């Protein structure tokens, strides 16, 4: 009886919710950010059909429909709709900004910047356009321009967490990790559950060898979004550097379950390598190379595992493949030299080792950490 009552109650509740949704007009559903993308596109179509001679409705309908296509990552359709909105409303600064985002996603950076410029010509203190233009400059490594935009956005909107977040990313790209952490701190002070800022701060902490704080940030990010593969991957990396190999493997396992990637497979392979499970490591590198056939580091790591197993021909093959992708990769040159020496080709091996040292004077010390020595 209890189960039957609960099922009946849920059915009534769903019917009420459906009826409430049905009572909303096409215009309300088109404008609402809560409307799913496909439904938003349909409702915007219906709303514009209801008001064919109202330019304000038409402009907003195309803009909102563009947002629907943007959410579906249908960039060309989004751009087409934003363009139509702008044609109907020449001062539509939000449409210029959002069209710029689509151009940036397509790596058409000059077009993106032109759209942000247009948005800012209409509203010079438009914080979102300032941050988006700054982000685009940062992606082009034009950091001076990027920081001018981020600083201006923060000056006009000091409570805008996204501005601190993107400025933090720019500092991180310049390897100014402590300044990046300060900006991520500020973003998180403004929005405590800003999961992207937690993740990026965790990466910055890892890069300054503060692995415990990094792990705490990834723990929090995972608690907020438990199905994001990158968060497990990043926590796995921090655990790897703490020599917590089994915990790291568990994180890489989960990351791979959520979204197989060559990087996660290589990192899991490194954990297996660190505890001398070389066959398991090779299996991971095999799979990584199946996903990404030109992954130089995967070839190097597989070569190192073969070398540790005394499989010198296989090791030389992998180091050759790594160098075919990245000819100046000192680790692969050194590894190949060691494999050649052990195979009996001493002169050729010494030549490789000497060439590796010319590229990286510390390569012999760094390779010794992998237990690979001449």
- 242 and 315 inside one domain: no
* pLDDT, mean of residues 263-271: 98
Bigger pLDDT: 83 or 31? 83
- 270 and 281 inside one domain: yes
CATH number at residue 318: 1.25.40.10
Q: What is the mean pLDDT of the chain?
A: 93
* 148 in a structural domain: no
Residue 6 has pLDDT above 70, yes or no: no
* 316 in a structural domain: yes
* 80 in a structural domain: no
**C-beta atoms surrounding 46 within 10 Å:** 15
What pLDDT score does 24 carry? 79
The residue among 293, 318, 334 that closes a domain is 293
Residue 9 has pLDDT above 50, yes or no: no
The residue among 250, 270, 293 that closes a domain is 293
pLDDT one-digit tens code per residue, 173-183? 999 999 999 99
- 317 and 281 inside one domain: no
- 300 and 363 inside one domain: yes
What pLDDT score does 18 carry? 43
* 132 in a structural domain: no
pLDDT one-digit tens code per residue, 11-60? 443 443 344 444 679 889 898 888 998 998 898 988 898 998 898 888 89
* 359 in a structural domain: yes
* 258 in a structural domain: yes
- 349 and 336 inside one domain: yes
- 330 and 256 inside one domain: no
> Among 26-35, 162-171, 261-270, 302-311, which stretch is predicted with the lowest mean pLDDT?
26-35
- 284 and 304 inside one domain: no
Residue 114 has pLDDT above 80, yes or no: yes
Domain that holds residue 317: 295-374
The residue among 293, 311, 333 that closes a domain is 293
- 361 and 339 inside one domain: yes
- 311 and 364 inside one domain: yes
Q: What are phi and psi of 361, to 5 degrees?
A: -65, -20
* 191 in a structural domain: no
* pLDDT, mean of residues 343-356: 97
Q: How many domains does the chain have?
A: 2
pTM of the predicted structure, to 2 decimals:
0.86
- 302 and 288 inside one domain: no
- 248 and 233 inside one domain: yes
pLDDT one-digit tens code per residue, 247-260? 999 999 999 999 99
* 144 in a structural domain: no
> Among 36-50, 140-154, 202-216, 274-288, which stretch is predicted with the lowest mean pLDDT?
36-50
- 301 and 282 inside one domain: no
pLDDT one-digit tens code per residue, 196-246? 999 999 999 999 999 999 999 999 999 999 999 999 999 999 999 999 999
């Amino acid at each position: 009886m209890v189960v039957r009552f609960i099922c009946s109650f849920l059915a009534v509740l769903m019917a009420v919710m459906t009826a409430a949704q049905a009572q909303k007009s096409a215009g309300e559903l088109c404008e609402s950010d809560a409307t799913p993308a496909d439904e938003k596109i349909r409702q915007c179509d219906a709303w514009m059909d209801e008001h064919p001679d109202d330019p304000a409705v038409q402009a907003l309908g195309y803009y909102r429909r563009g947002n629907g296509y943007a959410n579906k990552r249908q960039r060309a359709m989004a751009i087409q709709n934003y363009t139509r909105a702008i044609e109907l409303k020449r001062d539509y600064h939000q449409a210029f900004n959002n069209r710029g985002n689509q151009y940036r996603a397509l790596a058409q950076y000059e077009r993106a910047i032109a759209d942000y410029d247009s948005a800012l010509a209409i509203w010079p203190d438009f914080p979102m356009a300032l941050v988006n233009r700054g982000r685009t400059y940062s992606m082009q490594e034009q950091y001076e321009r990027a920081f001018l935009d981020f600083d201006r956005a923060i000056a006009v909107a000091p409570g805008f967490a996204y501005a601190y977040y993107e400025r933090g990313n720019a500092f991180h790209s310049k390897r100014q990790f402590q300044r990046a952490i300060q900006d991520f701190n500020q973003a998180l002070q403004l929005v405590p559950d800003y999961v992207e800022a937690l993740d990026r701060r965790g990466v910055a902490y890892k890069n300054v060898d503060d692995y415990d704080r990094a792990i705490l940030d990834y723990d929090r990010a995972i608690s907020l979004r438990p199905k994001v593969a990158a968060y497990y991957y990043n926590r796995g990396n921090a655990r790897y550097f703490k020599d917590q190999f089994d915990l790291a493997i568990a994180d890489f396992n989960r990351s791979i379950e959520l979204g197989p990637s060559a990087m996660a497979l290589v990192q899991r392979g490194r954990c297996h390598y660190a505890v001398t499970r070389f066959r398991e490591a090779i299996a991971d590198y095999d799979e990584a190379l199946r996903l990404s056939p030109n992954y130089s580091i995967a070839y190097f790591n597989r070569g190192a595992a073969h070398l540790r197993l005394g499989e010198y021909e296989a090791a030389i093959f992998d180091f050759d493949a790594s160098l075919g992708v990245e000819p100046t990769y000192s680790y692969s040159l050194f590894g190949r030299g060691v494999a050649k020496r052990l195979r009996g080709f001493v002169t050729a091996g010494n030549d490789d080792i000497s060439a590796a040292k010319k590229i990286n004077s510390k390569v012999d010390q760094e390779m010794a950490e992998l237990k690979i020595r001449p």
